[in-house]
């Protein structure tokens, strides 16, 4: 059972590291790269500290949080799904866990379709992970920066001060206009129908004329053979 929990923890930590590194690769400028590289190094430090903690007990809870999108594109007036995963890599139960991501999706720019951006859990046991999904709908198009979610928790029952941590962040992304998205990705059946209707005068009419001439020519040929 202990080995199984350790293997699950290792898998989650690898997943957490991959997400953090992908954010680093998607940086738009040098300043963002430097900042995100520091976050990446901090994630590495957390992971190695946790692995070292296999030999020495942490005696406290430690929550790692990943935030990623399940939708391939963000489009105005269309559903956009975000998933959060919280994992307690510590050896104590995390108490009064709160995740707040309301600053990432202000109500003037997004409609909340399903789920909550401010969530509470009574506790998260050691080695346990919880997932939470939210469906939002962008109101406008343009460049938008998806920031980290704020996570607070008490690392043990004796703790008097909450620990503050942050999730990974998808980073800067583009919200497509609905018309641009439909023109680029939607089915082209309507376009083909219009094309066929426009091309009919230049294809069908010449064919009908040719068919009528061919039919008259065939009848005249038959008549000439009969007279002979």
Note down the domain range covering 199.
188-227
Categorise residue 115: left if φ over 0, alpha if ψ from -120 to 50, beta otherwise: left
Q: Note the pLDDT of residue 4.
A: 43
Provide φ and ψ at 167, rounded to 5°: -85, 170
- Number of structural domains (the chain) is 2
Domain co-membership, 143 together with 215: no
Q: Is the dihedral of CA 183, 188, 191, 195 positive or negative?
A: positive
Collect all residues with Cβ–Cβ distance below 8 Å to 22 and sequence separation of at least 6: none
* Residue range 21-46: mean pLDDT, rounded: 46
Domain co-membership, 122 together with 213: no
Domain co-membership, 107 together with 218: no
**pLDDT tens digits, one per residue of 111-161:** 999 999 999 999 999 999 999 999 999 999 999 888 999 999 999 999 999
Domain co-membership, 20 together with 62: yes
Provide φ and ψ at 133, rounded to 5°: -120, 145
Examine the pLDDT at 5 and tell me if it is beyond 50: no
pLDDT cut 70: percent of the chain above it = 68
Domain co-membership, 57 together with 142: yes
- Bigger pLDDT: 117 or 219? 117
Domain co-membership, 84 together with 197: no
Domain co-membership, 79 together with 142: yes
Domain co-membership, 126 together with 205: no
Domain co-membership, 163 together with 205: no
Tell me how long the chain is.
Answer: 228
Instruction: Identify each DSSP E strand in 38-193 by its residue range.
Output: 63-69, 74-75, 80-88, 94-100, 110-114, 118-124, 129-138, 142-146, 150-154, 163-166, 171-176
**Residues 71, 169: Cα–Cα separation, whole Å:** 15
CATH number for the domain harbouring residue 171: 2.60.40.10
Domain co-membership, 75 together with 109: yes
Q: Please, are residues 44 and 29 in contact by the beta-carbon 8 Å criterion?
A: no
Domain co-membership, 159 together with 203: no
Location of structure tokens 């001060």: 161
Domain co-membership, 86 together with 144: yes
**Residues 209, 189: Cα–Cα separation, whole Å:** 29
- Bigger pLDDT: 99 or 227? 99
Average pLDDT, the chain: 78
Provide φ and ψ at 200, rounded to 5°: -60, -45
Which ranges in the chain belong to alpha helices (H)? 2-25, 30-52, 178-185, 189-227
Location of structure tokens 């995963």: 85
**pLDDT tens digits, one per residue of 71-111:** 989 999 999 999 999 999 999 999 999 999 999 999 899 99
Q: Note the pLDDT of residue 224.
A: 64
């Amino acid at each position: 059972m202990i080995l199984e929990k350790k293997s699950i923890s290792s898998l989650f930590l690898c997943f957490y590291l991959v997400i953090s590194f992908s954010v680093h690769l998607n940086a738009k400028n040098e300043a963002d790269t430097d900042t995100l590289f520091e976050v990446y190094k901090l994630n590495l430090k957390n992971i190695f500290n946790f692995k070292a903690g296999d030999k020495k007990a942490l005696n406290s809870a430690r929550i790692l949080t990943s935030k990623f999108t399940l939708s391939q594109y963000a489009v105005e007036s269309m559903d956009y799904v975000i998933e959060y995963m919280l994992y307690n890599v510590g050896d104590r139960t995390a108490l009064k866990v709160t995740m707040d991501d309301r600053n990432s999706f202000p109500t003037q720019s997004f409609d909340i379709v399903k789920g909550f951006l401010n969530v509470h859990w009574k506790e998260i046991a050691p080695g346990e992970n919880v997932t939470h999904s939210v469906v939002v709908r962008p109101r406008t198009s343009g460049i938008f920066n998806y920031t980290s979610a704020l996570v607070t928790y008490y690392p043990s029952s004796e703790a008097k001060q909450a620990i503050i941590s942050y999730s990974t962040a998808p980073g800067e992304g583009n919200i497509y206009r609905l018309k641009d998205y439909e023109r680029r990705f939607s089915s082209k059946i309507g376009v083909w129908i219009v094309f066929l209707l426009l091309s009919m005068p230049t294809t069908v009419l010449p064919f009908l004329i040719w068919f009528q001439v061919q039919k008259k020519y065939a009848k005249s040929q038959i008549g000439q053979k009969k007279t002979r």
